[in-house]
Structures are given as C-alpha cells and as structure tokens.
Amino acid sequence: NRQRVSAQSNHFKLVFIIILFAATHSYILTQTPGLKHVSVGDSVELRCIFERSVNHCYKSAVWEKLNLRTGKLMTVNTNNQNNAQKHNDKICILTLKNLNKTDSGMYYCMSHYNQLAMIGSGSRVIVTVTKTKHIDFLFSCLVTGLVPYQVRVFWMIGENVLSGWTESGWTDNTDSAREFTRAHLSVSAEEWNKADEIHCFAEYDGKNISKALSFIYTKYFKISMC
C-alpha cells in the first residue's frame, strides 16, 4: 500500500511538473486593440501578436467572431472584402471592411502549437450608426427707410414663400437715426444646396422690392427704400 501511495504521489508530481512546464513554456497570443468603436461603413484592423515567428498567417491564425447576444462562435470569412495578412514575422492582421451593425462582437485569434490550441485575448468591435449633423444657414435681410409696421418682409426659395422672423430698431442714437427692419431666415444645408437663389422681398404700399442671394455669395444683404 505504501508503494502504491508512493507511486500515485510520484505520478501526481509528474503530472504537476508537466502542467507547470507547459504553462511556463506556452505559446502566447495577444490581440490589439482590446476595444474599438467604429461607425457603419468604416474599416478596422485587428492584430494577432505571436510570441514566436510564424510562416503563413492563413495557416497560423484563424479568426473567430463571438456574437455577444447569441453566444455563437463563427469563423470570419476572409475570402471576400475582409482579408488576413502578415504584418511581420510575429503579427497577423485581420482587416474588416465596410462594417455594419451586425459586425459588432468579440473577435478572437486562434492558433495551435505542438497540438495545443491557443486563443488570443480578444478584440471587441462596436459598430454604431453616426448621426448626420444638422446644419442650418442663417440669412439676414435689412430693410431701411421705412417705418417697420408699414413694411412686410418675406422670403422666396424657388416658388416657396417663407416668412422667417423679424426684428426692428434704430440705426443709432443720434437725431438722424432711421428705423430699420431686419428679417431672418434659417435654411437647412440640404435646402440651401438645392436652391439656385434665395430672394428677400420688402412689400410696401402694394409694391415689392427684392434682393437675390446666390449660392456663392454672402448670407447677408440689404434693401434700402429712401
């Protein structure tokens, strides 16, 4: 019995030594970046860094994607627009192109060494939809020489009549100061790009006087009625 216990003890020691040796001499894989935020349509590079030199990335590295919702692991298809290439003797790069939201997930680089399977540290890719910034252009039209309540100011873009908003005041604090009406109009970038011209109209006593603003000029113009 003592011999059996001694033999079992030696066996456990041997197994422990082998495991310890394998752990201290393992083939380490690391990945960068650990986390990457990208927008729909963008590309991203994922790097698999080996401890030792590799000959061919298509043989040495297999890329798997873990769907964080379903928990399913799927091999990344590198035959189409995605590609895997060798950066140097120790780095293999996976390039994911034209990403969409379904490409979000955890990507792992996998390999093997001496019949031991290895897995990288993982790269999480988050693909989001980038909202288009809403840009407005502000136009101003200054009407002088008329009492504000006597004049109506409006705008036209093509055949569309727009009112915008107006303000009134005095040109200065002197005795010769004149009243003015300033009209404003906010136009979206899309609408401004489609318009050939924007017209500001001042209507007084049944008559209209207008100024036109074309796309290439300033966004401020003046109408004087003396």
pLDDT tens digits for 67-91? 777 778 888 887 665 566 666 778 8
Of the residues 128, 157, 188, the one at which a domain ends: 128
Q: Quick check: helix, strand or coil at residue 8?
A: helix
Q: By C-alpha distance, which of 200, 206, 195, 204 is closest to 225?
A: 204
What would the pLDDT profile of 53-71 be if each residue is shown by its tens digit? 777 776 678 888 987 777 7
Highest mean pLDDT among 1-10, 27-36, 50-59: 27-36
Q: How confident is the model at residue 3 (pLDDT cuts 50, 70, 90)?
A: very low
DSSP per-residue string spanning 40-82: TT--EEEEEEESS--S-HHHH-EEEEE-TTT--EEEPP-SSS-
Residue 39 sits in which domain range? 27-128
Instruction: State the residue for tokens 């034209």.
Output: 98
Domains identified in the chain, total number: 2
Residues 213 and 159 in one domain: yes
pTM equals 0.47
Residues 141 and 158 in one domain: yes
At 225 the pLDDT is 41
Query: Average pLDDT, stretch 189-202?
Result: 78
Of the residues 128, 157, 191, the one at which a domain ends: 128
Q: How confident is the model at residue 107 (pLDDT cuts 50, 70, 90)?
A: very high
